[in-house]
Copies of this chain bind each other. A is one copy, B any other.
Amino acid sequence: MIATDTLVSFFLETRQHTEDICKPLEIEDYVVQPIVDVSPPKWHLGHTSWFFEEFILKPHKPNYKLFHEDFAFVFNSYYENVGKRVIRNDRGNLSRPGVAKVYDYRHYVTNEMKDFLSGEISAEIEKILLIGIHHEKQHQELLITDIKYILGNNPLLLKYNHSFSENPHQKFQREWIEMDEGIYEIGHKNSDEFCYDNELGRHKVFLHDYKISNKLVTNAEYLEFINAGGYKDFNLWHAEGLDWVKQNQIEAPMYWHNIDGEWHQYTLQGLQKIDADAPLSHISYFEAFAFAQWKECRLPTEFEWEAAQQNFEWGSRWEWTESAYLPYPGYKKAPGAIGEYNGKFMVNQKVLRGGSVATPNKHTRPTYRNFFQTNLRWQFTGLRLAQ
């Protein structure tokens, strides 16, 4: 059990941080949804509040009064167990509730929670509370990547602010970390520390000898791949990846713009020349795989990554692995809506390990399993080579 004070602070800091992320926005930026994977910021603000209302306040706080009875309908996301969900790509069509109203909703929920948490917190509540806090942290990361998409896909190429640093350099040479064949323990130890259900079930995995790079692939390296015709060499690609490249006429990572022959990158600080030493970002799994093929290397599995991770720095990019997102041995979906969190996505997605410049504080860890479809690029995704 965590001390109540600590828990409450953790909750309130998280609620506050979400709002801090939105400070640079104009009201209009909260509303739009340019692609289905990006949600309007006001939806994130509402949805993370709805989570606490739905799973804590409504069932557990005596005499709790819903802020607005239609909001569960508007701000639910993917939870089939909790009523009729809004079709996901309709979110950007709803001008109301307006931004001010959504903030009212947030503050109402935050205050009601504060009130509720001033009493005794049972183990059950603590568990759901922690899920809710980490759920909100995930949406903090999505807020940043979704805001980047909203501002960066506007022909005006708008800046978010002047301080968000996307491109930390890796000031060291590439080295290959050599790992020995053997049985490794993989997964979370189920200690007091929070983790998601998909990390549990610590188990043994046999790994053969392998090498893994201490350094993420850089923009400079990827530029060589582009210049060598990597996007046109079909031998490097999965069949499905090649179809994706052709249909979408992909020629570079997302946010790269070739202006008069010179490559630029849209960042949250605006358009900049490509930073050669920065870690590559905003690529799909298909591109990560093709690049590795071109280098006559491969992507690590998530097990190889976890077994070796203490030997290298990580956290600036979500790193595509070769592993499909599958349940660990003994994985059981929790009953009810909370159980929909992870298990139902365990097909046709790839695991990403690490974290990114958009990941909030205290959110990721060595056993954390992120996952996306193989074609998605709007997250800060990169890669690390293995052999």
The answer on a CB contact under 8 Å between A96 and B348 is no
The answer on a CB contact under 8 Å between B326 and A322 is yes
Contacts A204-B206, A235-B339 given: A348-B150 contact, CB under 8 Å?
A: no
Chain B residues, CB < 8 A from A94: 32, 154-155
Residue of B31, B74, B239, B285 touching A28 (CB-CB under 8 A): B31
0 or 1 for each of A233-257: is its CB under 8 Å from B? (1 = yes): 0110111111000000000000000
- Give A329-348 interface residues, CB cut-off 8 Å to B: 329-330, 333, 339-340, 344-348
Cα-based distance from A340 to B374 in the complex (angstroms): 20
The answer on a CB contact under 8 Å between A93 and B34 is yes
Contacts A28-B99, A95-B32, A150-B95 given: A347-B240 contact, CB under 8 Å?
A: yes
A13 within 8 A of B: no
Chain B residues, CB < 8 A from A92: 32, 92-93
The answer on a CB contact under 8 Å between A237 and B204 is no
Identical copies in the complex: 4
Cα-based distance from A298 to B328 in the complex (angstroms): 12
Residue of B73, B183, B374 touching A155 (CB-CB under 8 A): B73
Question: Smallest distance from the beta carbon of A179 to chain B beta carbons, Å?
Answer: 12
The answer on a CB contact under 8 Å between B28 and A95 is yes
The answer on a CB contact under 8 Å between B237 and A344 is yes
A208 within 8 A of B: yes
A177 within 8 A of B: no
Cα-based distance from A270 to B151 in the complex (angstroms): 34
Cα-based distance from A286 to B150 in the complex (angstroms): 34
Nearest opposing residue in chain B for A330, CB measure: B208
A27 within 8 A of B: yes
A199 within 8 A of B: no
Cα-based distance from A32 to B92 in the complex (angstroms): 7
Nearest 3 A/B pairs, CB to CB: A324-B324, A34-B93, A206-B206
Chain A residues with a Cβ under 8 A of chain B: 26-34, 42, 70, 73-74, 78, 80-81, 86, 92-99, 150-151, 153-156, 158, 183, 203-206, 208, 234-235, 237-242, 285-286, 289, 298, 322-324, 326-327, 329-330, 333, 339-340, 344-348, 374
- Assuming A94-B155, A183-B206, what are 18 further A-B pairs, CB within 8 angstroms? A26-B96, A27-B28, A27-B98, A27-B99, A32-B93, A32-B94, A78-B239, A80-B234, A96-B156, A96-B158, A204-B206, A204-B208, A238-B344, A239-B345, A242-B344, A322-B327, A323-B326, A348-B374
